[in-house]
Every structure is written in C-alpha cells, then in structure tokens.
Amino acid sequence: MRPSTNKPFYTSTYFFISLLLLIPFSILAFGVTKQKEWLNTFDQFIAAPLLAGRSVEKTIFYSYITDMGGTLFIILLTFLVSLYFIFKKKDFKTAYWYIFHVAVGAGVLNQVVKLIFQRTRPTIEHLVLQDGYSFPSGHSMASLICYGGIVLLIFHLNQKKWINLLACLLASVIIITIGISRIYLGVHFPSDVLAGFCLAGSWLSLSAAIYSKKVLKNKQS
C-alpha cells in the first residue's frame, strides 16, 4: 500500500513505523548501557549454536556473504543504483535521495551511535578482521538500509506484484544472512545485529516517508 502524498510526511504510516522501531532499539541500548544480565543471556542463547557449528565451508560462505554488507560493496551498489536513475530514468531527485539515504543512515548515523555507546566487540576468535565499536552492527544497518531502499524504489516504480514480492524475499534473505554472518564470524553480539536492524528499519521508514512525501510529490506536481 502506498501512502497518500497530500499530508505532511510525519503523519504517514512510514513515520509511525519509524518511531515504533525505536522502542526495541531503546530496550537493547538500555541493556548495553547498564550491562544487564538478560542481554548477556540473550546473546549467548543466539550465538552459542552458531559458534558451535563452525566449519571451513561455513566460514568461507559467511566470509563472502558478510562482504555484501561491507563498506566497499555498499558504496559500489549505491553508485550503480544512482547511475541507473540518473542515466536510465533521468530521475535526479530519486538518485540524490538514495545517496542521501544510504550515506546518512549507513554511514553517519551508525558511526555516531557507535561512538555514543562504545561497546567493545566479543572477545571470542574473530574469523575476519574488524575494528571499531560493536553496537550497533554497521553491516546489519548498511544491508537493511541499502537493500531495503532498493526494494522501496522497486515498489514505487513497479506495478507487478510478483516482482515486488520476489525483490522483498531476495532482499530479506540477503539482509538476514548478513546479520547471521556477523555473529558467526565472531565480530558482533546478536544484540548488535538486532539493534542494527531496528535502527536501520527506523531510518528506512523515516527516509521512505520523506521520499514518498517530498520526492514523489514533487515529481507528480
């Protein structure tokens, strides 16, 4: 369902979802700040079976998958999507929106929040090189913001339901698998990944509200 564009963006369903997703993020952030035992229990419950099932084959698989949420891959994908809208669709506003959407959400927002909480990474063996703080997961945020943004654009530009459904399913598999890879590779706690998804979902929804109310409305006027 595409929300009406005749109301302020902060009255849209997207904006409400954005606020709603901040609730679970805030709960996780509280647990990290206060070092709550329930958060440790949650992390151990989710991570234990993944870490116990490590193998050479899985490590190779997850090492490749995790790169799909890495900085270089996300920058390249953002560049290609923007070029598509600039040269193929002649839609500069959508291209600029997508660059802004990814750069602010996956870049600025993630780094600012990491600096606020400064959670150290798990002390278990890291199967890939990774520095910086742990909370929230940057790969998880970047994947949901980047691939979720693409799905949003497909929903707005495409009328075929099966294509929309396929795009949504494919993006969901990629995003979730990237999140799992961060836990398996030992560089994030499960709560980092979940918090990353919540904060990224909140930003994606807010950005979608802006896109539907500002960019699409201006294009249609």
CB 42 within 8 A of CB 190: yes
Concatenating the DSSP letter of every residue in 68-85 gives TTSHHHHHHHHHHHHHII
Region 148-169: what's the mean pLDDT?
Answer: 92
Domain ranges of the chain: 10-216
pTM for the full model?
Answer: 0.91
Tell me the per-residue pLDDT of 58-83, one tens digit each, with 9 for 90 and over. Answer: 999 999 999 999 999 999 999 999 99
* Calpha distance 181→193 (Å, rounded): 10
With cut-offs at 50, 70 and 90, classify the pLDDT of residue 9. Answer: low
Please give the Cα distance from 29 to 114 (Å, whole number).
Answer: 11
Tens-digit pLDDT profile for residues 190-210:
999 999 999 999 999 999 988
- Amino acid 49 reads P
Average pLDDT, stretch 157-164? 88
- Which position has the higher pLDDT, 14 or 136? 136
